[in-house]
Each structure stands twice: as C-alpha cells, then as structure tokens.
Amino acid sequence: MTTEATPKILDLPIGLTATGLREEFDSIGKVQVPADHYWGAQTQRSLIHFNIGHDKMPKEVYHAYGYVKKAAAVVNTKAGRLPAWKGALIQQVADEVISGKLDSEFPLYVWQTGSGTQSNMNLNEVISNRCIQLVGGTLGAQEPIHPNDHVNMGQSSNDTFPTAMHIAAYKMATEKTIPALQRLRDALNVKSQQWSSIVKIGRTHLEDATPLTVGQEWSGYVGALDDAIADVTYATQGLLQVAMGGTAVGTGLNSPVGFGDEVAAELTKMTGFAIKTATNKFTAQGTLDRMVRAHAALKCAAVSLFKIANDMRWLGSGPRTGLMEMTFPSNEPGSSIMPGKVNPTQAEAMLMVCIQIMGSDVAVQMGGSEGNFELNAFRPVLISNYLHSALIMADMCDHFREFMIEGAVVNEAQLKSNIDRSVMMVTALSPVIGYDKASEIAHYAIDNNTTLKQAALAKGVDEAVFDRVVVPINMTRPGSADVPAAKA
C-alpha cells in the first residue's frame, strides 16, 4: 500500500449546492447524475432501469447498512488495509448514514437486482462522494475514497446485504414490534384481572354455551399473546447470525481470514446486539430461511391478533341489537349518513393489518424458496415485506391498545340478562339428573320460551336441587358441579 498524505478533513454540513448534472462513471461507462446529490453512476442506472411503482427500499436497511460499512472500516483500519484517516472518514460518514441524515440520498426502489447490489452500491457511492466532499475533492472522481476499493473493502453485496437485512429486521422487531405486543398483552391482562369475578355466558360454534368469567375469556387472549411473543422472540433471535465474511459465494474470497468474525464483533459493540457470523456461509447466502422463519412468527402473531380483534368487534356489537356485552371508546363518527353511529374501527384496522401481514407472508415464503445455488436473489422483496409487517404490527398493537382495549367497559346488565335467559346452564344438572333428562328440560325451555328454572320445575326437578346446583359463578371452575362418584 502506497503511503498517502493525510488531507485536512473539512467541517462541512451535509448537502450540495451545485445545480444541473454531474458526470459519474462505472465499469460500463459514463452517466449523468443530479449534481445536488451524492449518489453515482450505478445508483442512477438503477433509477432509470427500475423506476417501478412507489415502493422504495426501506430506510431501515440503509441505516443498518451504515453499521456494516462502519464495522468493516474499523476492522480494515485496525489491520492496516485502510490508512487510518480513510478508515476514520468512512466511519464518520457511516455515522451520518446510521443517524438518517443522508436518507434523501437513498432513492432506489424495492424492485431491483435481487441480490441488493444496487442498494449496496448506492450506499458505497454516497459514502465515497461525501468523504470526497469532506476532503475538498471532486465528486465523481472516486478518489481518494473509492466506493468499491475502500468503502466496500473485503465485502460483497452477497454477504453485506443479508447482514444489513438481519440487523434492520432484528432492530425493528426488538425495539418496536415485540414491545408493542407486550404492551397490548399487559393491557389485556389488566382487564382480565379486573373482570375476574364477572360471569357471562360462553359461546361455542357461535351458540350459547356454559358460563365463564369475563376475566377467564380475556385470559385466553393474554395467553395467545404470551405464546405469540415467545415465538416472535425466538424466531427473531435467529437473525443474530449474519452472512458477513462470505463475500461472493460463501468462500470469503477477497476478505482476510477471520474478517466476518471481526466485523460481527464490531457490529455487536456498535448495536448492542449479540451478532455472530454464520457458521455456514453457504447457508447464510444461498438461503433466507432465518428471515422466512422470522416473518412466519409475525404471521402467526397476526393470526392471534385477528382472533382477538374479531372477538372484540362482535362483543361490542350494538348498541341495541347486537351482543352488547362490551362498550368501547367512541373515537370518531362512524357514518356519513347515519347520525350517532359509532363503529369498531380499531378492530377493523387490526383485521386489515393482519390480513396484510398474512398476505405478505406468502411473498416472503415464495422469495425464500426461490433462491438458486449460492445466492438467494429475492432479498429486497423479503426485507421490504418483513419491515412493513413488523412496523404496522407494532403501530397497530399500540393503537388497538390505546384506543380500544384500555377504554373497554363491561355491560354487566347485558351479561346478567344473558345468564338469566340461558338454557345451557342445564349442563350443571346433567351429572345429577342425567344427560337425557337435562336435554329434555333444555328443549322444553326453548320450545315453550320459559326460563331454565321454570322448565326444570315443570319436568319434576326439585327447586332446592336446582338452586344448589345451577349457580353461575360455581360453574366457572372445576370441582364445583354436583358430580356423583363413579359407580364401581
């Protein structure tokens, strides 16, 4: 390595005042790029060839990529492969990327090369030109900081892009999605405890069933989220293994021995995440299985959330002709034509979010299954769908909790009326008078539109026996029914 004089690093704010176009070049040739942006030829080519829809590569990917570039620069500098000033300058600009200060310089679309190469080069070009600006050089000259030779030293898009994917996904899940799920779970648990002694009629097959408490019903929602959170947490941990160090096909060509481990160690210091280089780089680069599993866990959580939200909108249906068991906050008018109408909009939004996540999981499955040989070339669609799912789930859980669950109120009068009119309370009599006799009483009550007690007395059940056995609160726990001992 030739010795280079250390230039003065200028204290310049982010931004370019130039107007018009600037000439940049890559291995194919020269390209005109907007003079007021830092990106170079390969970014501009991608903008021309992949101007598809409105789906941009998520900024979270670039922020995570900033960590990758910074960590690689640290390792390359320590080993003497990069002059200290170059390594320090790349790290300085990488920090600007991580902080989001350069977000306007990452304009590429999700629909691009499946390896993520164009996004990697977008980042390399931006870091290179920003570094060149800070030493008073000529943008587009690719010196003294070259996008490939220096910013991308020891790296390939094939190992760095999935590494950035994992970091971005792990960060989103652990900082937003899992905490939001936990907050919703805790809010449901507060209500479950609060309503532990309020009895209601259960429903199976959408038909009347035996009683339980509202707290017991809501504890089912709590348990479902406990399981979902555990699954999401476990699957997310798998993202801590990254492809870094595999370079092009997993062999590590053009990277020093131990490079992946050293970069992973630096990433751990920078992020606080326990990042490790994958034990098998061919798996890490040829598949996206860990991303598929991580999104599958989100999909499963969405299934649980869908059930909970769907129950809520039914329980609160009314206000006069629905189930009317719950009253939820009136957040906004519900109709442009029907005055006074209020709808369960938070539940509806949750259902739509869950549908979107379930649909996204199909795209993730397909993308994960389509990798060929040493490279999965469907990475952008996976990380775009994962981050979208994780973000909307986090936001929706917080909105659902704040604007629906925390303000929920039980309609105790309606619950008591349901109990008084219920026929399935006859189940408690079954061990005492037999299933067939109990069934006869139930049908009599329904056919003659009487209360269960009236039907039981009409069929010869002693009133004292009925009053002792058919006690709603006692029917909500095992061992409370009048069950005779088994015959020898």
The catalytic residue positions are: 205, 335
Q: How many C-beta neighbours within 10 Å does residue 423 have?
A: 18
List all residues 6 or more positions away from 68 whose beta carbon is below 8 Å from its beta carbon.
Answer: 155, 160, 163, 164, 167, 244, 263, 267
List all residues 6 or more positions away from 76 whose beta carbon is below 8 Å from its beta carbon.
Answer: 82, 87, 153, 154
Taking CA atoms, 93 is separated from 9, 178, 396, in Å, by 12, 31, 34
Under a CB-based contact definition with an 8 Å cutoff, are residues 61 and 178 in contact? no
Annotate 180-212 with three-state secondary structure. Answer: HHHHHHHHHHHHHHHCCCCEEEEEECCEEEEEE
Helix, strand, coil percent content, the chain, rounded in steps of 5: 60, 5, 35
Q: Please, what sign has the CA dihedral across residues 25, 28, 31, 33?
A: negative
Q: How many C-beta neighbours within 10 Å does residue 165 have?
A: 29
Q: How many C-beta neighbours within 10 Å does residue 27 have?
A: 7
Task: Please name which of 157, 361, 250 lies closest in space to residue 369, comparing C-alpha atoms.
Answer: 361
User: What phi and psi values does residue 443 have, to the nearest 5 degrees?
Assistant: -65, -35
Specify burial of residue 331 (Cβ count, 10 A radius: 0-12, 13-18, 19+).
Answer: middle
Q: What Rg, from alpha-carbon coordinates, does the chain have? A: 31
Under a CB-based contact definition with an 8 Å cutoff, are residues 240 and 247 in contact? no
Q: Which ranges constitute the DSSP H helices of 238-280? A: 259-271
CA–CA–CA angle 480, 485, 488 (5° rounding): 165
What angle do helix axes 84-99 and 59-78 make, rounded to 10 degrees?
Answer: 160
What's the CA gap between 35 and 23, in Å, rounded?
Answer: 8
Buried b vs exposed e over 198-217: b needs ≥16 C-beta within 10 Å?
A: bbbbbbeeeebebbbbbbbb
